[in-house]
Structure 1
Amino acid sequence: MSEENSDEVKMLEAQIERLQAEVEVLKLQQQENHKDLTLHFPGHMRDALAHLCGQRAAGGQEEVLSKLREEIQELEADLELQTQMNGISLSRCLVKTLQSGRKLVQKLCLSGHCSELVFQVEFKLSEMKVGQSCERRLSELNVVLDSPDLRSFSSFLSRVEESGDLLLFFRTLRTFSDRCDDRARTFRHFQPSEAAGFSK
């Protein structure tokens, strides 16, 4: 083997070693991400995710699936109850993890409607473990509301986005939606009926 080929072989071997080291680092990151993923879910969901991520060998697949089904049914029942209580129906929820480790940062996008008002809310949720408790902080709130008459509501939306008060938005959305429905009913009541128009 010539000296030129020998140098090329050494270079390729060094590159293979670097790639193998990089693969090991990525495997460790994946394991950490799986740990982080399971830490942020309560009860059966956490146990099932831990099992699926290979962190726990106890319990069979049937038990894990059973626990997941039970957890999903509980969550669906809670969501249905919330929808009945507050009139706000969520149609889509997207969660994207931006950063994990000691500090979990997620970007959330919620879409739904309250009566005829269609909304979309985007925000970042930061969760940091402080001692035994978790501290959560909401930031970068952006609210999009699809309604023909938002002149009186736009200044309120701006204040909500500045303050990051998501709870205030949802409380007020229900009230605003009810007022829009009342207004529409009032306008319909005072509009001349089609039957009266035909009789003239």
Structure 2
Amino acid sequence: MNNNIIQVYEDEIHSLEEEINNLKEEYECNQHESMAYSDKEIINAMKSFKRKSQEEPKQYGSSPELKTQLDLLESDLSFIMKLTGIWFTKYSRKPVEKSESKTIYKYRLSGNCQTVPFQLEFQLLEENQASKNVSAVVSDLSIIIESEDHSGLTKLVSRVEESGNLLLFFKSLSCFSEWYKHRKRTFAHFKRKYPDIVALPEGSSGDSMALRSPEHSGFELMIIWKIHVDKEGIVTPVLDLLNKIPMPEASNFAQEAPHCFRSLLHVLGIEASIEALIKSLCTGK
């Protein structure tokens, strides 16, 4: 249902509650006078409003104009979710406080960004100014990322919860999720292409990939691929190469391999650098 219509109902309910309170006050003050309102009259007023609220949605629901607006809103939302990769699966809004100058709502959201699930809970304060400009302030923000694989987001979540900057959170989450999906896809690709050389100790969702020499037992390199999120929310892939080489004759390679790999990353990029490293391991060069 259109948010504007829901707002109309909420306003009417609030108005009715105030009217009932006024009626009760008059009843208590004038209970010995002939003009006092009875409990029955108050209950009838409530029933009357309930019937009205049940009838009005039917009228709105049959409106072709409202259906067209709803279809446009759903289309816009679908486009935004496809563009950002952020899909909301649950949503709720509950009024906490309302007056002429401000309105406070409590929101609960849950969804997925690519393959990263999240939950949000926060309060939104809307201050209605005389100029009709509306400013919104987020408070009591709580964020849950439902996976231990996304430790790179931990510090970002803490900062966003303190600042209430939801735009920063969704922007960084979208970028992080893209890199996370790319890393998972890249690891799975090399595992399929070189099953005898590539091992994934933590699975394709982990941040490490082991390269084992087919000719020398114990000859192993470990690619570490972290996804770093700085305090401004900028997401950067960070790759490094560790070695596990017990053979004395391989000491020169052990010393040079990490530096050479980092140099290749700047020249060739991630996938081409891993490919070159695997081929060098296969040929023993």
In the alignment, what sits opposite 1:189? 189
In the alignment, what sits opposite 2:69? 71
Equivalence map 1:19-58=2 (5 Å) = 20=39, 23=42, 52=56
Specify the code of the residue in structure 2 equivalent to 1:185: R
Query: What is the CA distance between 1:191 and its match in structure 2?
Result: 2.7
In the alignment, what sits opposite 1:87? 85
Contact 2:61/2:67, CA 8 A, preserved across alignment: no
Query: What is the CA distance between 1:86 and its match in structure 2?
Result: 0.9
Alpha-carbon deviations, 1:86-121, whole Å to 9, x = none?
A: 111111111111122322111111111111101111
Flag structure 1 segments of 5+ consecutive residues without an equivalent: 1-12, 32-48, 54-59
In the alignment, what sits opposite 1:114? 113
**Structure 2 CA distance, aligned partners of 1:142 and 1:111?**
12
Whose radius of gyration is greater, 1 or 2? 2
- Of Structure 1 and Structure 2, the greater helix share is in 1
**Structure 1 CA distance, aligned partners of 2:164 and 2:107?**
14
Query: What is the CA distance between 1:63 and its match in structure 2?
Result: 8.5
The number of aligned residues is 158
Query: What is the CA distance between 1:70 and its match in structure 2?
Result: 1.7
Query: What is the CA distance between 1:123 and its match in structure 2?
Result: 0.9
| Pairing 1:99–2:103 present | no
Alpha-carbon deviations, 1:52-71, whole Å to 9, x = none?
A: 38xxxxxx937962232122
More relative contact order in 1 or in 2 (CA 8 Å, sep 6+)? 1
**Structure 2 CA distance, aligned partners of 1:115 and 1:62?**
36
Contact 2:60/2:66, CA 8 A, preserved across alignment: no
**Structure 1 CA distance, aligned partners of 2:67 and 2:183?**
43
The change in CA–CA distance for 1:71 and 1:101 in structure 2 (over 3 A counts) is farther
In the alignment, what sits opposite 2:122? 123
The change in CA–CA distance for 1:18 and 1:158 in structure 2 (over 3 A counts) is farther
- Identity among equivalent positions (%) equals 30
Alpha-carbon deviations, 1:129-161, whole Å to 9, x = none?
A: 110222211111111112232322201110011
Query: What is the CA distance between 1:18 and its match in structure 2?
Result: 7.6
SS at match of 2:63: helix
The change in CA–CA distance for 1:126 and 1:85 in structure 2 (over 3 A counts) is same
Alpha-carbon deviations, 1:24-59, whole Å to 9, x = none?
A: 8x96xx89xxxxxxxxxxxxxxxxx9x938xxxxxx
Flag structure 2 segments of 5+ consecutive residues without an equivalent: 1-30, 198-285
Query: What is the CA distance between 1:196 and its match in structure 2?
Result: 5.9
Superposition CA RMSD, Å: 3.5
**Structure 2 CA distance, aligned partners of 1:192 and 1:66?**
54
SS at match of 2:148: coil
The change in CA–CA distance for 1:195 and 1:128 in structure 2 (over 3 A counts) is closer
The change in CA–CA distance for 1:19 and 1:187 in structure 2 (over 3 A counts) is farther
**Structure 2 CA distance, aligned partners of 1:91 and 1:119?**
10
In the alignment, what sits opposite 2:202? none
The change in CA–CA distance for 1:192 and 1:80 in structure 2 (over 3 A counts) is closer
Specify the code of the residue in structure 2 equivalent to 1:101: S
Specify the code of the residue in structure 2 equivalent to 1:144: I
